[in-house]
Amino acid sequence: MPDKLTDLIEELALANRILAHEGVLDAFGHVSLRHPADPGRYLLSRSRSPLLIEPDDILEYTLDSEPVRPPKVQLYAERVIHGCIYRARPDVMAVCHHHAPAVMPFAIAGKPIVPVFHLGAAGGANMPFWDQYAEFGDTNLLVVKPEEGRSLARALGQHPAILMNRHGATVVGGGLRELVSRSIFMCQNADYQLRALTLGTPEPLHAGEVKLASTLNALPNVVNRTWEYWSMRLEAAGAMPPRKSSAKAARRPVPKPSRVTPRERRKGRRR
Ligand SMILES: [Zn+2]
């Protein structure tokens, strides 16, 4: 398990950077992963912009969104989003919260994002909205209190994504690669939907098409293919995360003992 956990932590750092490089995350927003060995915990970075996240930034949290070990670093204010969704949705293994420019017009206008092309089906049909003001009145719009996180999780229900009025969106996945794929294609779909509106009234996918296309989009060979593509683009930009320092140490070859000549050995004895 330690090796698997190390690999997953490295993937989580990579997921943050991919989503930042593809325009879903910017200075803000975050991605988490349910702990592979303990469903009552999750992994999330310390407070840092996603494009800069390294495996050593990843911390472990309980589902109350409290760090398992006392933190020496600043934590994300909105981490209750993650803990509350993992508690409400046992099927969810990864969560992304973002304020992507592609979805903001819909979150601001209160207009639904509907699947308008096959890959956009990953966002699901009938994407719900959550309005923090409607339940909590004046806030700074950050989801920081447990009751706010629980309310958001309730509104998400069994959907793969939710729009947050005047704030952004939260997306969930059955795995990290599925989540990354869904988050990126949801933004592409929103972009295409808005552009298509300038030409006419786009006809969304039919309910049966959404079901069939979203199943196809989640297949391992599909999400592995997109993951490889987005990783290659990140690597070409020179923005790949470093390996986890403990893993680097473990993988470092054991230095061979330096060869001591018979003469040096005799000199050593005299000392
Ligand atoms: Zn936010």
H or E segment and range at residue 96: strand 94-98
The neighbouring-strand residues paired with 58 are 45
235 in active site:
no
Q: Report the separation in Å between the CA atom of 113 and the middle of ligand 1, taken as the mean of its atom positions.
A: 18
Q: What is the pLDDT, as a whole number, of residue 244? A: 74
Name residue 203's amino acid: E
Q: Report the separation in Å between the CA atom of 94 and the middle of ligand 1, taken as the mean of its atom positions.
A: 16
Q: Which of 10, 11, 54, 78 is catalytic?
A: 78
Q: What is the pLDDT, as a whole number, of residue 271? A: 42
Q: Report the separation in Å between the CA atom of 255 and the middle of ligand 1, taken as the mean of its atom positions.
A: 47
pLDDT digits 0-9 by tens, 9-51? 999 999 999 999 999 999 999 999 999 999 999 999 999 999 9
DSSP 122: G
Name residue 124's amino acid: G
Q: What is the pLDDT, as a whole number, of residue 254? A: 47
Cβ proximity of 28 and 101 under 8 Å: no
Structural domains of the chain, count: 1
Reported as half-sphere exposure (CB side, CA atoms, 13 A), residue 92 has a value of: 30
Query: Structural domain of residue 60, as residue ranges?
Result: 2-270
Cβ proximity of 123 and 209 under 8 Å: no
Q: Find the CATH number of the domain harbouring 164.
A: 3.40.225.10
Residue spans of alpha helices (H) in 71-175: 80-88, 104-109, 132-136, 146-156
Instruction: Report, as ranges of residue numbers, the positions in the chain whose pLDDT lies below 50.
Output: 1-2, 252, 254-255, 257, 268-271
Report field, pTM of the whole predicted structure over 0.85: yes
Q: Report the separation in Å between the CA atom of 168 and the middle of ligand 1, taken as the mean of its atom positions.
A: 6
Q: Report the separation in Å between the CA atom of 224 and the middle of ligand 1, taken as the mean of its atom positions.
A: 28
pLDDT digits 0-9 by tens, 155-167? 999 999 999 999 9
